[in-house]
Amino acid sequence: MTRIGKTLKVLHDDLRKAFIPYIMAGDPDLRRTAELVDVLEDCGADIVELGVPFSDPLADGPTIQKAAQRALQNGVTLSSVIELVAKIREKTQIPIILMTYYNPVFKYGEERFVSDASSAGADGVIVPDLPPDEAGGLIRHARKAHFDTIFLLAPTSTDNRIRKVAKASAGFVYYVSMTGITGSKLSMDLSIESHIRKIREASEKPVAVGFGVSTPEEAAAVARFADGVIVGSAIVKRVGGSESDLRKYLLSLRKAIP
Amino acid sequence: MPALEELEGAYRDSRSDADFHRELLQLQKTYIGRPTPLYFAERLTEKLGGARIYLKREDLAHTGAHKINNAIGQALLARRMNKKRLIAETGAGQHGVATATGAALTGLECDIYMGSEDIARQSLNVFRMRLLGARVIEVSTGSRTLKDAINEGLRDWTTNVRTTHYVMGTVFGPHPFPMMVRDFQSVIGREAKKQIIRAEGRAPDYLIACVGGGSNAMGLFYDFLGHEEVKMVGVEAAGRGVYTGEHAARFAGGSIGVLQGTKSYLLQDDDGNVLGTHSVSAGLDYASVGPEHAFLRDKGRVEYTFANDEEALEAFELLSRMEGIIPALESAHAIAEAAKLAPKLGRDKIIIVNLSGRGDKDVQQVARIKGIEL
């Protein structure tokens, strides 16, 4: 079992839910990103998602788009993010997931990416523009390296797709709370509950929910049904502010997620 | 993915639906004005002193470019799928105008995404879209051109997928878009084939078309692909030159990558980030190219070359003066290639150039480049 799987299992056995914050690697710079991972862990993060900046982040709203642009201006690349993971890994065992678009991985080489990222100490990857249908190669290399591939489901996903995505996913299944991009407004209706129930019928893998979760109330509501809560844009927005405000905010999320 | 599966299903159903075909044919004839003429450019031919040059007059199609062929097809499809709203990206504004027209025709709402740089250089088309009842949404992220307008269009579609159809304007994007747009545009080549046989009694020796995303080229080429004696040339935008880094010549300067759901040639850096592009023509100013063009290039079936800004501007004036036809700056790239190729060929050879659009939209910009105040 990977670090991600173990962490989620321990939480599950404890009747607890995972808090999974996202930050953009290299925003404002790589050294600060390493410090921020400490801050996240300090404030109760169970798993950390590290964004890899890309020029055309299709699934992201304005907050993460801007963060990616800042990181790219700093010269941050997939290779430098992998090196950063190795540095972070010297100090902590917290599971780390890379969230990257496909072209940087394609250019880097799928096999080499899995090998370098997993030896650096990353535990898995989310590639929002790569559906499992096209991910045969990446999944094969990842399975060999015990590196998790996490795929996305949306409210529009059909039963057939739920089965396919759940099967291709390792670590957990990522349920996108609404049709839309990161940082959009969450609509807390009954559909999250019924969709997660459907995913659970298709698979025993843990389900984490992301996109649009920003307040502690929303995090608490989502945590009632999901095994993990992913918060991205709302944190990225606060990375530019004071650290004490950021910590306060992170702790309020942690408190809201049982 | 579910939206793409839904779209593919609806598209396949429409293909075997006689009523859908009848309506599309009727609109092609009475609304778009098809078939567009195949015109023998006699004075241009004489001036260049070589092959006989024919122009496929897509500039005479309703709204002034080939884009309408696809936009009307997809608007009918969207209505069939019970969508309430059309969205689209646009570079030069021609696809935006065509989609806004299709929306007005079918009574659908319409939002068009356009990069702020393109809004500045194509203000006439922006106003046309608004007149047609569409909202033009300015995109000021990234390079502020076509690529970023597609990003925003896809983000909108992801968000409003239940009510909205995304009218991709070129043979790009995830399946089934490249296939569907090609099919709607292939009417160009089907007509041209009949017309050239009527005019010359034989197939042409060369087809030439400009290639941005590649829809007008694919539209002309597709029906001729099986005729091996017909050579085909796609012309990319070399901007300020392919060695300057300021161009949109994906085949000459790019490598295989994946952007916006498509694997094709892409202008990218070593880390897989997409590079900025430049062309005097907004419609060719794009970092990647339709995947079927990549296939035809790798197979050696189509040759891809380029024309730079200066050559395109010369061709723009050349065609205006010699034939009384002001071409779109995009199409002027194809004319520029014809001007290079025709003199090297004998007078018994035949070239068909796809005149994909008319140049009214570019007049202001050309005046600006020439330092003329209107």
The amino acid that residue A152 corresponds to is L
Which chain B residues contact residue A132 at CB under 8 A? none
- The four Cα atoms B24, B29, B34, B37 give a dihedral, to 10 degrees, of 160
Strands B302-308 and A173-176: what pairing?
unpaired
- For residues B171 and B177, the answer to whether their CB atoms sit within 8 Å is yes
Token pair listed for B8: 């593919």
pLDDT greater at residue B2 or residue A57: A57
How would residue B1 be classed by pLDDT, with cut points 50, 70 and 90? confident
Nearest by CB to B2, which of A54, A161, A180?
A161
**Predicted local confidence at residue B373, as pLDDT:** 87
How would residue B122 be classed by pLDDT, with cut points 50, 70 and 90? confident
Mean pLDDT for A81-105 is 98
DSSP for B74-119, written as a single string: HHHHHHHTT--EEEEEESSSHHHHHHHHHHHHHT-EEEEEEEHHHH
Highest-confidence segment of A180-194, B108-122, B345-359: B345-359
DSSP for B115-163, written as a single string: EHHHHHHTHHHHHHHHHTTPEEEEE-STTSSHHHHHHHHHHHHHHSTTT
Mean pLDDT for A135-147 is 98
Residue A189 has pLDDT above 80, yes or no: no
Which chain A residues contact residue B286 at CB under 8 A? none
3-state secondary structure B302-318: EEEEEEEHHHHHHHHHH
Instruction: Decide: residue B270, CB within 10 A, 0-12 exposed, 13-18 middle, 19+ buried.
Output: exposed
Please check whether residue A155 touches B, CB under 8 A. no
Please check whether residue A157 touches B, CB under 8 A. yes
- For residues B196 and B203, the answer to whether their CB atoms sit within 8 Å is yes
Whether residue A103 and residue B266 make contact (CB cut-off 8 A), yes or no, is yes
Q: Note the pTM of the prediction, 2 decimals.
A: 0.95
- CA distance linking residue A122 with residue A148, whole number of Å: 9
Please check whether residue A181 touches B, CB under 8 A. yes
**Predicted local confidence at residue A186, as pLDDT:** 81
For B162, name the nearest residue in chain A, comparing CA atoms only.
A156
B→A interface, C-beta within 8 Å: 1-3, 5, 141-142, 147-148, 151, 154-155, 158-162, 257-261, 266, 268, 270-274
Start-end of H helices in B161-308: 177-185, 187-200, 215-221, 250-253, 291-299
The H or E element spanning position A7 is helix A3-13
Whether residue B142 and residue A55 make contact (CB cut-off 8 A), yes or no, is yes
- CA distance linking residue A211 with residue A213, whole number of Å: 6
Q: What is the DSSP letter of B32?
A: I
CA dist list (Å): A20 to A67, A119, A178, A234, B76: 18, 22, 18, 12, 44
The Cβ of residue B229 has, within 10 Å, a number of other Cβ atoms equal to 9
Whether residue A103 and residue B257 make contact (CB cut-off 8 A), yes or no, is yes
Strands B231-239 and B206-210: what pairing?
parallel
Mean pLDDT for A68-78 is 97
Whether residue A55 and residue B274 make contact (CB cut-off 8 A), yes or no, is yes
- Tell me which residues of chain A, numbers 219 to 258, contact chain B at a CB-CB cutoff of 8 Å: none
Token pair listed for A211: 């996109």
Site of tokens 């079936």: B301
Cβ–Cβ pairs < 8 A, chains A and B: 80
Which chain A residues contact residue B159 at CB under 8 A? 178-181, 184
**Predicted local confidence at residue A215, as pLDDT:** 96
Whole-number mean pLDDT of chain A? 96
**Predicted local confidence at residue A94, as pLDDT:** 98
Q: What is the pLDDT of residues B46-86, one digit of tens each?
A: 999 999 999 999 999 999 999 999 999 999 999 999 999 99
DSSP for A10-78, written as a single string: HHHHTT--EEEEEEETTSS-HHHHHHHHHHHHHTT-SSEEEEPP-S--TT--HHHHHHHHHHHHTT--H
- The four Cα atoms A155, A158, A163, A168 give a dihedral, to 10 degrees, of -60
Whether residue A158 and residue B274 make contact (CB cut-off 8 A), yes or no, is no
The amino acid that residue A32 corresponds to is R
Closest CA to B131 of B151, B155, B103, B171: B103
Paired strand residues for B262: B259
| Percentage of chain B lying above the pLDDT 70 cut | 100
Token pair listed for A126: 């989310």
ipTM reported for the complex, 2 dp: 0.93
Please check whether residue A12 touches B, CB under 8 A. no
**SS3 category, A199:** helix
- Alpha-carbon gap: B202 to the closest alpha carbon of chain A (Å): 44
Angle at which helix B177-185 crosses helix B291-299, to 10 degrees, equals 80
Residues in CB range of A160: below 8 A, 6 or more apart: none
Whether residue A179 and residue B160 make contact (CB cut-off 8 A), yes or no, is yes
The Cβ of residue B269 has, within 10 Å, a number of other Cβ atoms equal to 13
- Top CATH class of A3-256 equals alpha beta
Would you name the residues of B annotated as active-site residues?
67, 89, 356
- A13, A27, A56, A60: the catalytic one is A60
**SS3 category, A101:** coil
- CA distance linking residue B199 with residue B187, whole number of Å: 18
- CA distance linking residue A70 with residue A62, whole number of Å: 12
Closest CA to B97 of B140, B136, B59: B136
| Percentage of chain A lying above the pLDDT 90 cut | 93
Site of tokens 């061709």: B315
Nearest by CB to B272, which of A69, A106, A131?
A106
Q: What is the pLDDT of residues B270-282, one digit of tens each?
A: 999 999 999 999 8
The amino acid that residue B163 corresponds to is T
The Cβ of residue A14 has, within 10 Å, a number of other Cβ atoms equal to 9
Nearest by CB to B260, which of A58, A62, A72?
A58
Closest CA to B278 of B325, B233, B227, B312: B312
Angle at which helix B18-27 crosses helix B67-80, to 10 degrees, equals 140
Residue A190 has pLDDT above 80, yes or no: no
The number of angstroms, rounded, from the C-alpha of B295 to the middle of its chain's C-alpha atoms is 18
Residue A227 annotated to the active site:
no
3-state secondary structure A104-170: HHHHHCHHHHHHHHHHHCCCEEECCCCCHHHCHHHHHHHHHCCCEEECEECCCCCHHHHHHHHHHCC
Closest CA to A238 of A251, A255, A256, A221: A251
- The four Cα atoms B154, B156, B161, B164 give a dihedral, to 10 degrees, of -100
Whether residue B274 and residue A103 make contact (CB cut-off 8 A), yes or no, is yes
Residue A187 has pLDDT above 80, yes or no: no
Closest CA to A67 of A239, A247, A231, A185: A239
* Length of chain B as a residue count: 374
- For residues B205 and B233, the answer to whether their CB atoms sit within 8 Å is no
Whether residue B141 and residue A65 make contact (CB cut-off 8 A), yes or no, is yes
Q: What is the pLDDT of residues A2-20, one digit of tens each?
A: 999 999 999 999 999 999 9
- A14, A27, A35, A49: the catalytic one is A49
Whole-number mean pLDDT of chain B? 96
Please check whether residue A191 touches B, CB under 8 A. no
The H or E element spanning position B322 is helix B309-323
For A186, name the nearest residue in chain B, comparing CA atoms only.
B159
- CA distance linking residue B12 with residue B15, whole number of Å: 5
